[in-house]
Structure 1
Amino acid sequence: MTTFADLGIDQDIVDAIAAKGIIDAFPIQEQTIPLGLPGQDIIGQAKTGTGKTFGFGVPVVQRLGKDPEHGVKALIVVPTRELAVQVYEDIDLLTSNRSTSVVAIYGGKAYEGQIDQLKAGAQIVVGTPGRLIDLAGQRLLDLSNATEVVLDEADKMLDLGFLADIEKIFQKVPAVRHTQLFSATMPGPIVALARRFMSNPIHIRANDPDEGLTQANIKHLVYRAHSLDKDEVIARILQAEGRGKTVIFTRTKRAAQRLVDELGDRGFNVGGVHGDMGQEQRERSMAAFKAGKRDVLVATDVAARGIDVDDVTHVINHTIPDEDKTYLHRAGRTGRAGKTGIAVTFVDWEDLHKWALINRALEFGQPEPVETYSSSPHLFEDLNIPAGTKGRLTTAPKTQSVKMQRAPRPERAADAAAEQGSGDGTTRRRRRRRGGSGDKVGSTFTEGTTANESASSDAAPTVERDAEGAGTHDGKGGEHHDGKSAPQRRRRRRRSGGAAPAGA
């Protein structure tokens, strides 16, 4: 293995990386760093999770020098907020033994703190296109001296429609500059972008040691599951032996939040990252996941590129992605840094055609996903789930409280029945008189039942009404719930019902 010290990197940067236990360089780093240090334009292509950030970050930091002048000298453009935070943390690590200052510029955060850091003379800016153009348009961000420019995850820029913004940014940086472009895939528009804004770039593709890394290090399991059973299946997977941190991907923000609530109710320590959450909430949730305070993270695809956690053991696709590239980026959250991982994908019946395309593109050799339910034996075998595992860690307390409230009701019903069966017969005579008047208000007679037919069964409806708590009196005063006293209400009923029957 080639170490960072063997690549001609300054010792202070080597020490900063070694402090985090990183000694050996990954293939993409080994190939790009020696070319980037002297200023060669580079197109770096490698699968996600293989260390591209250090591949472009080390040359940027070293080329600025140990004590650069104040002002923006390097610009690193990323597609998402989460990725901006992750890249910022890596670059900040590389500069920990230098006076170089790094600032993250992205939306969802207050302008003031970012502007203050720029005014303080930050030399390296990591940002998303929208906020960068916004601050540059207000003349709060000066890119005229940014001689180091990096586009990270360029294919995601294309997917999110940022190419027009990238062109605007390139118009604000010097014409003579050192440019690096890194991406997991290289579609045609990205290649055209590179030809337009880069000077004789060298295309480096770390495919020999890296090709097949996903196949070798990640176990792919594809199940055809019913949507109503997915939550139960996921809950059982989360109890598999050896499971570490787990990322679950959903297609929509609403589905992500629903799953967070559902798994939390089942007793799992879960957090979420999606577009309906505020930026502070997203950062707190991501920080808790990285720190191990939460071991399950539910996310949408927008956040996928920023989840850079080495010890993710499982990735679960709650809904199948629309294309093979998205699948690779999702699955790439596990099996990082050479570790092993498991990627589980659920395919709904109506999404089988999507899986057929992904299967063909990635050559999985699994054209028909296995029909799977939460009780399927192969699910337990494939994922090493202990036998008898159920999908809930805690019992909801509301079930017990309902039972406690309903327990005394049969006693009250029995008392009511006993009272109805007593010899005075007061209640029975009163109800017979009201029934005979033709006014059914307050009557216990059912439709199509005569007074004679119901006389023998007066106790039954009374018991049922008492048992259900359907009475109008609260038992604590002389008034009914409608604010009228009991005598007034009875008189109103008699008036509305017409004349009382003879002998009443």
Structure 2
Amino acid sequence: MRPIHGRASTQARYDPQRSPRVASHRRGSTLTTTFRELGILPETAEALEAVGILSPFPIQEMTLPVALSGKDVIGQAKTGTGKTLGFGLPLLERVTVPADVEAGRAVPEELTNAPQALVVVPTRELCQQVTNDLLTAGKVRNVRVLAIYGGRAYEPQVEALKKGVDVIVGTPGRLLDLAGQKKLDLSHVRGLVLDEADEMLDLGFLPDVERILQLLPPKRQTMLFSATMPGAVIGLARRYMSQPTHISATSPDDEGATVANTTQRVYRAHSMDKPEMVARILQAEGRGLAMIFCRTKRTAADIADQLAQRGFASGAVHGDLGQGAREQALRAFRNGKVDVLVCTDVAARGIDVEGVTHVINYQSPEEEKTYLHRIGRTGRAGASGTAVTLVDWDDIPRWQLINKALDLGFPDPPETYSTSPHLFEELNIPAGTKGVLPRAERTRAGLSAEQVEDLGETGGRGRRSAAAPAPAVREERPPRTPRQRRRTRGGSSAPDAAPVAVTAASLPPLAPPVAEPEPQFQTAVPMDIVPERSPAEARTPRRRRRTRVAAEPVAEAAVVAPVAAPAVTPVAAEPEAEAAAKPRRRRTRAVKPVAETVETAAVVEAPVAPVAETAEAPAAEAKPRRRTRVTKPKADAVAEAAEPVETAEAPAAEVKPRRRTRVTKPKADAVAAESAEAAGEAAPAPRRRTRTAKVAVEAPAED
């Protein structure tokens, strides 16, 4: 817990009653020396004595009489001098609980399930700590205290609010969330506390704090507490307070802004040598728990990993971790399973862990307030501690401003490395210490020994706490046979046709027959214009999987083959099928027609029809193209193709446009060129990837 009080312990602790500084501070004053004499309720004093809290600190002695009277207070004291009970005890006194009704101090009409007091804190870790302190002080009276902060599930907090709460400690974001959902009623709040007020009234939190103040009743007690309270913050705080009393608890002989029993060391270090320096500082004699502060989350995570590799039991606390992991690291640090806590400034304010002897500023802080809160994690409640600051060359100007503002006396830090003799002497590091912890000294259980609590975290970080149940293991499934991909140019070949390059044995086994839709388009090419190719020119056709042309039209293609008319004859569906259902346009994947398979077979076995019988052979057009949209009906095409060609010249038939056609085979131009050469004409220029093609059909000459 936060050392806001003296404790009965076997260790040498600071006792304000025996300290000459406090005695001189109280000389001539009327302040009392016990909590009971300060005017708190007997039940509260009993709860404090049960945990060893015997006497108040100066800030508590000066604050309690004023705060118990109901006046607004601005309290300022150094870190580790007991500010939490300075505002916590007056806050608990203003709450009415059933124990007060039984004791006759209140009437039943004053009881309510709505919150009667509110404490606003900047960080989740501080929220937990203040909640624990207030629960301890209000245990005998059974005061209901609830912590509300982000990173946890909404449902448990909403259920606790429905059952009834007396004091709420929360962060601004979650408080406004629940208040906006009408789950949190702040209209009965009698006392408000802004802990770490300088941070709460900063530009980042100020809009949220103002919205919370608008939800509170105007007649209330407001208290602000912090270790650093700049003048601008005090002026801003007076806007929300009514004639506040500013209390600053310091001792006359404790000069400066830092605690006198904290030894401060500042070194100029190189960034690449800092991990080695930190590893050797952590092996100093008499070191207990240590906290290492970094400016960035990435640096904190990296240093924690490096120290773990060097044998140290380390944990990390920064904003990129889930709330469960952050609380796990803090619990392990408090329980002693981890002795090195690497963190960002989220843990710089209010965190109190007994036994912290060393604080290391791995990177120079941004401002003097951050420096005071960092080194205030050690030297608390009268104990001694050591604060080491490593300043990089780039951070020298920033450090000089901090040094000037706090009057520390380290304007020019000495250049120091991990092998510098003065580092070993000033920090009491044994000679010959290396940057790896010996195995004999690795006695801590480590971070993994602390369980992660399942908090039902919200947000979209994609992390799952270790305590959350693992997803169910799926049943083992038999391995799936990979699908065989087949690509064919057309259907099966004719029964008597021998394939040229591809044989049936070389093809993969065929899958079970699947009912294919009726083929929408077919084309047939006269075989007398196909030149004979040598085996070297024969190319293995690329196999395609999705075929549109089946094996039924083979016979029809064979009938069209011996026709001597060198014209591209499109073959469409049967007239009956066309009349029954008009084929719709569809973008089909280009395939090689079955007629081409028959044509290939004819090239090998059947003699090629001579081309020289006609006086002048017309120029052959390009072969059928892929992805045709409009085709000529099959019946008309077959009728025209069946008529013999008798004359040398014939007028060209009407050209029918074909939309969005593509060249089916790259050899179409070659076939047209050879046919033109045989006819004695000039070879036509090759046409490729044309959008509209003309189909020339020979018509019979008139007698």
TM-score (norm 1): 0.76
The answer for the alignment partner of 1:483 in structure 2 is: none
Distance (whole Å) between structure 2 residues aligned to residue 302 and residue 252 of structure 1:
11
SS at structure 2 position matched to 1:337: coil
Distance (whole Å) between structure 2 residues aligned to residue 335 and residue 99 of structure 1:
33
The answer for the alignment partner of 1:34 in structure 2 is: 65
Match 1:128 to one of 171, 181, 184 = 171
Distance (whole Å) between structure 1 residues aligned to residue 357 and residue 426 of structure 2:
14
Distance (whole Å) between structure 2 residues aligned to residue 257 and residue 66 of structure 1:
45
Distance (whole Å) between structure 2 residues aligned to residue 248 and residue 41 of structure 1:
37
Match 1:55 to one of 59, 64, 86 = 86
The answer for the alignment partner of 1:289 in structure 2 is: 333
Distance (whole Å) between structure 1 residues aligned to residue 389 and residue 202 of structure 2:
22
1:171 matched to 2:202? The reply is no
Summarize the alignment of residues 211-226 of structure 1 with structure 2, pairs less than 5 Å apart. Answer: 211-212=255-256, 214-226=258-270
* 1:214–1:335 Cα contact (<8 Å) kept: no
SS at structure 2 position matched to 1:338: coil
The answer for the alignment partner of 2:390 in structure 1 is: 346
* 1:247–1:315 Cα contact (<8 Å) kept: yes
Once the two structures are superposed, residues 449-499 of structure 1 have per-residue CA deviations (whole angstroms, 9 ceiling, x without a partner) of xxxxxxxxxxxxxxxxxxxxxxxxxxxxxxxxxxxxxxxxxxxxxxxxxxx
The answer for the alignment partner of 1:438 in structure 2 is: none
Once the two structures are superposed, residues 130-178 of structure 1 have per-residue CA deviations (whole angstroms, 9 ceiling, x without a partner) of 1101110110000000111111101112346111111111110111011
Q: Which amino acid aligns with 1:37?
A: L
* 2:78–2:259 Cα contact (<8 Å) kept: no
Shift of 1:188: 4.1
Distance (whole Å) between structure 2 residues aligned to residue 72 and residue 234 of structure 1:
46
Match 1:204 to one of 226, 237, 247 = 247
Shift of 1:306: 4.0
Once the two structures are superposed, residues 25-44 of structure 1 have per-residue CA deviations (whole angstroms, 9 ceiling, x without a partner) of 11111100111112111010
Match 1:233 to one of 277, 298, 311 = 277
Summarize the alignment of residues 399-478 of structure 1 with structure 2, pairs less than 5 Å apart. Answer: none
Once the two structures are superposed, residues 62-107 of structure 1 have per-residue CA deviations (whole angstroms, 9 ceiling, x without a partner) of 2214535322100000011111111111111111112211100111
Q: Which amino acid aligns with 1:317?
A: N
The answer for the alignment partner of 2:403 in structure 1 is: 359
Once the two structures are superposed, residues 271-316 of structure 1 have per-residue CA deviations (whole angstroms, 9 ceiling, x without a partner) of 1100010011101111111122211111101221142123211100
Summarize the alignment of residues 378-397 of structure 1 with structure 2, pairs less than 5 Å apart. Answer: 378-393=422-437
Once the two structures are superposed, residues 200-228 of structure 1 have per-residue CA deviations (whole angstroms, 9 ceiling, x without a partner) of 11000112356547352110000001111
Distance (whole Å) between structure 2 residues aligned to residue 387 and residue 253 of structure 1:
33
Shift of 1:12: 1.8
Match 1:91 to one of 121, 134, 155 = 134
Distance (whole Å) between structure 2 residues aligned to residue 328 and residue 270 of structure 1:
24
* 2:143–2:166 Cα contact (<8 Å) kept: yes
Q: Which amino acid aligns with 2:417?
A: Y
SS at structure 2 position matched to 1:319: coil
1:333 matched to 2:377? The reply is yes
Match 1:308 to one of 329, 346, 352 = 352
Q: Which has the larger radius of gyration?
A: 2
SS at structure 2 position matched to 1:287: helix
Match 1:46 to one of 77, 94, 107 = 77
Q: Which amino acid aligns with 1:313?
A: T
Distance (whole Å) between structure 1 residues aligned to residue 358 and residue 199 of structure 2:
23
Q: Which amino acid aligns with 2:44?
A: I
Q: Which moved more, 1:189-198 or 1:97-106?
A: 189-198
* 1:331–1:343 Cα contact (<8 Å) kept: yes
* 1:80–1:306 Cα contact (<8 Å) kept: no
Once the two structures are superposed, residues 369-422 of structure 1 have per-residue CA deviations (whole angstroms, 9 ceiling, x without a partner) of 011111111111111111111110258xxxxxxxxxxxxxxxxxxxxxxxxxxx
Once the two structures are superposed, residues 9-30 of structure 1 have per-residue CA deviations (whole angstroms, 9 ceiling, x without a partner) of 2222122222222212111111
RMSD of aligned residue pairs (Cα, Å):
1.5
1:250 matched to 2:285? The reply is no
The answer for the alignment partner of 2:115 in structure 1 is: 72
Distance (whole Å) between structure 1 residues aligned to residue 305 and residue 438 of structure 2:
14
Distance (whole Å) between structure 2 residues aligned to residue 178 and residue 316 of structure 1:
39
Q: Which amino acid aligns with 1:112?
A: E
Once the two structures are superposed, residues 113-145 of structure 1 have per-residue CA deviations (whole angstroms, 9 ceiling, x without a partner) of 111111110110000011101110110000000
The answer for the alignment partner of 2:188 in structure 1 is: 145
1:14 matched to 2:48? The reply is no
The answer for the alignment partner of 2:159 in structure 1 is: 116
The answer for the alignment partner of 2:315 in structure 1 is: 271
Shift of 1:361: 0.8
Match 1:262 to one of 287, 306, 314 = 306
- Residue segments in structure 2 that go unaligned for 5+ positions in a row: 1-16, 18-32, 99-110, 440-703
- Residue segments in structure 1 that go unaligned for 5+ positions in a row: 396-504
The answer for the alignment partner of 1:401 in structure 2 is: none
* 2:334–2:354 Cα contact (<8 Å) kept: no
Shift of 1:193: 3.2
Shift of 1:189: 4.3
Match 1:184 to one of 227, 239, 258 = 227
Q: Which amino acid aligns with 1:356?
A: Q
SS at structure 2 position matched to 1:142: coil
Once the two structures are superposed, residues 342-371 of structure 1 have per-residue CA deviations (whole angstroms, 9 ceiling, x without a partner) of 000000011111111111111111211011
1:104 matched to 2:147? The reply is yes
Q: Which amino acid aligns with 2:402?
A: I
* 2:267–2:416 Cα contact (<8 Å) kept: yes
The answer for the alignment partner of 2:536 in structure 1 is: none
SS at structure 2 position matched to 1:371: coil
* 1:248–1:299 Cα contact (<8 Å) kept: yes
Q: Which moved more, 1:358-367 or 1:151-160?
A: 151-160
Q: Which amino acid aligns with 2:280?
A: R
Once the two structures are superposed, residues 228-265 of structure 1 have per-residue CA deviations (whole angstroms, 9 ceiling, x without a partner) of 11111111111111111111000100000001100011
How many residues in Structure 1 have an aligned counterpart in Structure 2? Answer: 395
Match 1:323 to one of 367, 374, 381 = 367
Aligned pair in 2 of structure 1 residues 16, 319: CA closer, same or farther (>3 Å)?
Answer: same
Distance (whole Å) between structure 2 residues aligned to residue 75 and residue 25 of structure 1:
23
Larger relative helix fraction: 1
Which ranges of 4 or more aligned residues in structure 1 deviate by more than 6 Å?
none
* 2:297–2:319 Cα contact (<8 Å) kept: yes
The answer for the alignment partner of 2:591 in structure 1 is: none
Q: Which amino acid aligns with 2:164?
A: G
* 1:266–1:394 Cα contact (<8 Å) kept: no
Distance (whole Å) between structure 1 residues aligned to residue 160 and residue 331 of structure 2:
22
* 1:310–1:337 Cα contact (<8 Å) kept: no
* 2:259–2:379 Cα contact (<8 Å) kept: no
Distance (whole Å) between structure 2 residues aligned to residue 289 and residue 341 of structure 1:
17
Q: Which amino acid aligns with 1:389?
A: T
Distance (whole Å) between structure 2 residues aligned to residue 309 and residue 160 of structure 1:
29
Distance (whole Å) between structure 2 residues aligned to residue 306 and residue 216 of structure 1:
19
